[in-house]
A and B are shown apart, each in its own frame.
Chain A
Amino acid sequence: NAGVMQNPRHLVRRRGQEARLRCSPMKGHSHVYWYRQLPEEGLKFMVYLQKENIIDESGMPKERFSAEFPKEGPSILRIQQVVRGDSAAYFCASSPGRGPHEQYFGPGTRLTVT
């Protein structure tokens, strides 16, 4: 039973390029969450999605960031025109459904913007 998978594990982008981060939830999980850890900071919530729906994006920066969780395939966190301040570790978590379920985390994608 594979856990939450994220790829790539490491991503290097030049300023102005686009970054696409992928997350495959655990089998049977229909809820996906994205968190960001900036250098020297803790985990911060970005967005919560169910299949084909964004439920809560209150933690997403207003510009350049978007997320989706299509009916088929992984959830994607997309960062357009990356800047150095976007360098961080991006973690995805999944849970099975409603209620205070544990969120199971993936290994994260470390984005470096040069």
Chain B
Amino acid sequence: ILNVEQSPQSLHVQEGDSTNFTCSFPSSNFYALHWYRWETAKSPEALFVMTLNGDEKKKGRISATLNTKEGYSYLYIKGSQPEDSATYLCARGAGSARQLTFGSGTQLTVLP
């Protein structure tokens, strides 16, 4: 994998469903993996930063895991609510660089 890739591109779920998305990234020279939540007309909102293989982070109904050896991270949302509707971005930081390389995002729509 040369770039940060996210799947699926878009997702529609019913309120109350649990869902998850995938972020794949180059595992070489890994530094950190960031997850952001981006609602239309707002700023990207930082959810998690993970650095260690096996890291798991949780914030309310949202959690994330990290596998740096194989280069992937999962974001889970338990019991989706309409207010969870947003684009979820992952971004990889590499080496000593502070710049982030973003994926194209997963657009989640939660139907009431």
| Interface residues of A, Cβ cutoff 8 Å to B | 3-4, 31, 33, 35, 41-45, 48, 55-56, 58-59, 91, 95, 100-108
A50 to chain B: closest residue by CB: B98
A104 touches B46 (CB 8 A): yes
B98 touches A91 (CB 8 A): no
B99 touches A56 (CB 8 A): yes
Q: How far is the CA of A76 from the CA of B66 in the complex (A)?
A: 35
A48 touches B43 (CB 8 A): no
A101 touches B49 (CB 8 A): yes
Give the secondary structure class of B's interface: strand
Tell yes or no: B100 within 8 A of A by CB.
yes
Which residues of chain A are within 8 angstroms of B45 by Cβ–Cβ distance?
105
Q: How far is the CA of A99 from the CA of B97 in the complex (A)?
A: 10
Question: In the assembled complex, how far is the CB of residue A14 from the closest CB belonging to chain B, in whole angstroms?
Answer: 26
Given known A100-B51, A106-B43, contact A42–B104 (CB-CB < 8 A): yes
Question: In the assembled complex, how far is the CB of residue B31 from the closest CB belonging to chain A, in whole angstroms?
Answer: 6
Which residues of chain B are within 8 angstroms of A91 by Cβ–Cβ distance?
43-44
Which residues of chain B are within 8 angstroms of A95 by Cβ–Cβ distance?
98
A3 touches B98 (CB 8 A): no
Tell yes or no: B93 within 8 A of A by CB.
yes
B32, B91, B100: most-surrounded residue (chain A CB, <10 A) = B100
Given known A56-B99, A100-B32, contact A107–B43 (CB-CB < 8 A): yes
Given known A100-B32, A101-B49, contact A108–B101 (CB-CB < 8 A): no
Q: Which of A31, A35, A100 is B93 in contact with, Cβ under 8 Å?
A: A100
